[in-house]
Amino acid sequence: MSFFEKMKQGASDAAKKAQQTVETTRLRTQISSKEREIEKAFLLIGECVFQAHGSGNWKKSEREVVAYCEHINQLRQGIQAIEQKIKLAKNEKECRCGKVVAIDVKFCPVCGFQFEDLQRAEETDEAIQVMCRSCRNYNEVGAKFCAHCGTVI
């Protein structure tokens, strides 16, 4: 690689990193906004409960409290979706054990979970399959023997 090609590649990498940082910051701002909405909803729940206590009629506040709780759940789900977008923007994914790893990692370094087969199944929306204990090949549900190595499933 020539000097100018290296410079060009370095500039391209820096531009990608800057774009990634801008996108991550934008998404984190959205999360902060949703967290402030959650705090407001908690305050409003407290006010509803206090007013119900003052009036002695707890049923009066129940409908409002339930509505605020549902709103909080929706906001939390939105935060989780944004956190997933941040991971994608940073080229990361989360293992089922909670470890965050690079998007191209095939096995989790903590628990050994194999990502490749899970991604392939998600991308193609295949039916649930059974994995062979011996060769880790996926087989159709109901198969008694592995189609790859012949081991009893």
Distance, CA of 82 to CA of 72 (rounded, Å) = 15
pLDDT band at 128 (very low <50, low <70, confident <90, very high): low
Is residue 153 packed enough to be buried (19+ CB in 10 Å), middle (13-18) or exposed (0-12)? middle
Extents of the domains making up the chain? 3-90, 100-140
Query: Cα dist. 118→34, 44, 132 in Å?
Result: 31, 42, 14
Of 11-15, 118-122, 135-139, give the lowest mean pLDDT range.
Answer: 118-122
Q: Which fold has domain 3-90?
A: Helix Hairpins (1.10.287)
pTM recorded for the entire structure: 0.61
> To the nearest whole number, what is the mean pLDDT of the chain?
84
Query: For 109, how many CA atoms within 13 A lie in the half-sphere containing its CB?
Result: 8
Helix axes 59-89, 3-55, angle to 10 degrees: 170
pLDDT of 66 = 94
pLDDT band at 131 (very low <50, low <70, confident <90, very high): confident
Condensed to tens digits (0 to 9), the pLDDT of residues 70-124 reads 999 999 999 999 998 998 888 888 888 989 898 888 998 999 889 875 444 444 4
